[in-house]
Chains A and B, each alone.
Chain A
């Protein structure tokens, strides 16, 4: 098999008329939604500690004690879950030259004039930013989180360090929430995206419009591959 550049194993064209492309397999989708679920729970519990006006959110967990107890554990689950996702996705999220061109024209991106932008592989520049932002912030959050995890790591670092960890954790949390919003919004705004993570497939048009290079590669690979 020819070396894949813009797609990965599992990605394939499922039907031709109309074209339906498999973007994520069930494991990946499960992995994603686990991560997403964790993130939402973390966001809700974390926000309840972040500002008094949001403390009521801890009620969703049965109160502050449980929210406090669960939050770091969910963080650990998220971290591990995201780690798998990361390993699965990292290769196609490595930045390329086209990403630069693509990103340098946000007006066209936001106006959805993608025909005027370079063709993208499985992930476009914005998606890659989300990916790397998530990666970076999750690392920061897990490290700082452990430093402030009173129940098990109370003596791990000095109190001044812990203070810095705490403020870092909260800033990182704000940022990851912003990234999260962008991610979710982009998925909604870019119609036809969400089914990639629900059904696992996207339409050919969607792939053609947003990730044409990926589609091309899949089409080419499909032809070159062994006959079914």
Chain B
């Protein structure tokens, strides 16, 4: 079997002959609920998806391609006062166009901001940190954060752990789902299905370095059009992401349907998965050890024969000679 090469573009035709995937379990850098994950022997080139929001026309081709590639079946909902459908990410809809009609207070112009939402593939993934099931969430050295559904227990901790509110747990299978960055496609040298489909090529895919360079060009072009605050969204708080945005208003990402300005793994989650875990175990351990020691070292609290007699006395005194 020929080995696949890493993808450098989103747009190529998929192979129909079998190829060996270019990354696999040997490339894991993180594995959920695993204490002794060995460092991989090799370091893969980081990949990234770049979403240029300024080129996006909100056509939902990404959603369509995502459904088709991943064989999901999102439920048909209703019209709820926006073009956004489904109304939210679901276990069957891994990506979603979020529409915002925003009147720019500086220019008084209407801007229709459309952002493709979905997993950001954080360098420091909150979902993985929160996950209690060993190997249910993994991160490969190329940056892909993937859910291994067979290992998922459906607890929803990833939902709490994610700074971007992405994972969704299915009510049918009780397994969490999210964008895989089309790991199955990337493995054989293809870009993600959404990136391939995107009609205006607002979604690009390649090495993270290439994507950052491309973003720089785009930002320069946007600045020439008067978008002085154009910039790249690759937030440091989560160690950078493998899905990045070019924004016209990078100074206020919140206007794009609540894209967090400074995302990071919540301190609550950090504490829960950090200090609490260890202090908790320590407390339980200490209590167990303490009582055991007390049991071994100290004397048991025994009732003496004398007590029994006293009790009889007491009962008789109190009870008289009734019996």
Decide if B132 touches A50 in the complex (CB within 8 Å).
yes
Q: Is B76 among interface residues, defined by CB-CB distance under 8 A?
A: no
Q: Is A1 among interface residues, defined by CB-CB distance under 8 A?
A: no
Residue interface mask A9-25, B partner, CB < 8 A = 1:
00001001111000000
Q: Is A105 among interface residues, defined by CB-CB distance under 8 A?
A: no
Question: SS class of chain A's interface: helix, strand, loop or mixed?
Answer: helix
Decide if A18 touches B312 in the complex (CB within 8 Å).
yes
The closest CB in chain B to the CB of A185 belongs to: B291
Residue interface mask A192-228, B partner, CB < 8 A = 1:
1000000000011111110010011001101100010
Residue interface mask A154-190, B partner, CB < 8 A = 1:
1000011011101100110111011001100100111
Question: How far does the alpha carbon of A37 sit from the alpha carbon of B277 in the complex, in Å?
Answer: 24
Decide if B295 touches A16 in the complex (CB within 8 Å).
no
Decide if B311 touches A163 in the complex (CB within 8 Å).
no
Decide if B291 touches A163 in the complex (CB within 8 Å).
no
Decide if B308 touches A65 in the complex (CB within 8 Å).
no
A112 contact set on B, CB distance < 8 A: 299, 301-302
Q: Is B314 among interface residues, defined by CB-CB distance under 8 A?
A: yes
Residue interface mask B72-90, A partner, CB < 8 A = 1:
0000000000000000000
Q: Is A110 among interface residues, defined by CB-CB distance under 8 A?
A: yes
Nearest-Cβ distance from residue A161 to partner chain B, whole angstroms: 10
Residue interface mask B290-323, A partner, CB < 8 A = 1:
0100110011111111111111101111111011
Residue interface mask B170-184, A partner, CB < 8 A = 1:
010010000000000
The residue that A216 contacts in the complex, of B34, B284, B314, with Cβ under 8 A, is B314
The closest CB in chain A to the CB of B158 belongs to: A150
The closest CB in chain B to the CB of A171 belongs to: B276
Decide if B318 touches A219 in the complex (CB within 8 Å).
yes
Q: Is B59 among interface residues, defined by CB-CB distance under 8 A?
A: no
A16 contact set on B, CB distance < 8 A: 312, 315-316, 319, 323
Question: How far does the alpha carbon of A148 sit from the alpha carbon of B130 in the complex, in Å?
Answer: 13
Question: How far does the alpha carbon of A206 sit from the alpha carbon of B281 in the complex, in Å?
Answer: 35
What size tier do the contact residues of chain B reach?
35 or more
A67 and B153 in contact (CB under 8 A), knowing A110-B298, A167-B276, A185-B295?
yes
B314 contact set on A, CB distance < 8 A: 204, 208, 212, 215-216, 219
Question: How far does the alpha carbon of A177 sit from the alpha carbon of B282 in the complex, in Å?
Answer: 12
What size tier do the contact residues of chain A reach?
35 or more
**Residues of B117-159 whose CB lies within 8 A of A:** 132-134, 151-157, 159
Residue interface mask A45-80, B partner, CB < 8 A = 1:
000111111010010000111011100000000000
Q: Is B26 among interface residues, defined by CB-CB distance under 8 A?
A: no
Residue interface mask B230-258, A partner, CB < 8 A = 1:
00000000000000000000000000000
B133 contact set on A, CB distance < 8 A: 55, 64
A3 contact set on B, CB distance < 8 A: none
Count chain B CB atoms within 10 A of each CB in A163, A175, A181, A227 and give the residue with the most: A163
Decide if B34 touches A52 in the complex (CB within 8 Å).
yes
Question: How far does the alpha carbon of A171 sit from the alpha carbon of B291 in the complex, in Å?
Answer: 20
Q: Is B70 among interface residues, defined by CB-CB distance under 8 A?
A: no
7 A-B residue pairs with Cβ-Cβ distance under 8 Å, sorted by A, are A49-B155, A154-B169, A163-B272, A191-B301, A205-B310, A219-B319, A220-B319
Return the 6 tightest CB-CB contacts between A and B, nearest first: A150-B156, A204-B311, A219-B318, A64-B153, A205-B307, A205-B308
B residues with CB within 8 A of A: 33-35, 132-134, 151-157, 159-160, 162, 165, 169, 171, 174, 266, 268-269, 271-272, 276-277, 279-281, 283-284, 287-288, 291, 294-295, 298-312, 314-320, 322-323
> What would 9 more interface pairs be, CB under 8 Å, given A65-B174, A154-B169?
A49-B157, A50-B277, A163-B269, A204-B315, A205-B303, A206-B303, A209-B307, A219-B317, A219-B318
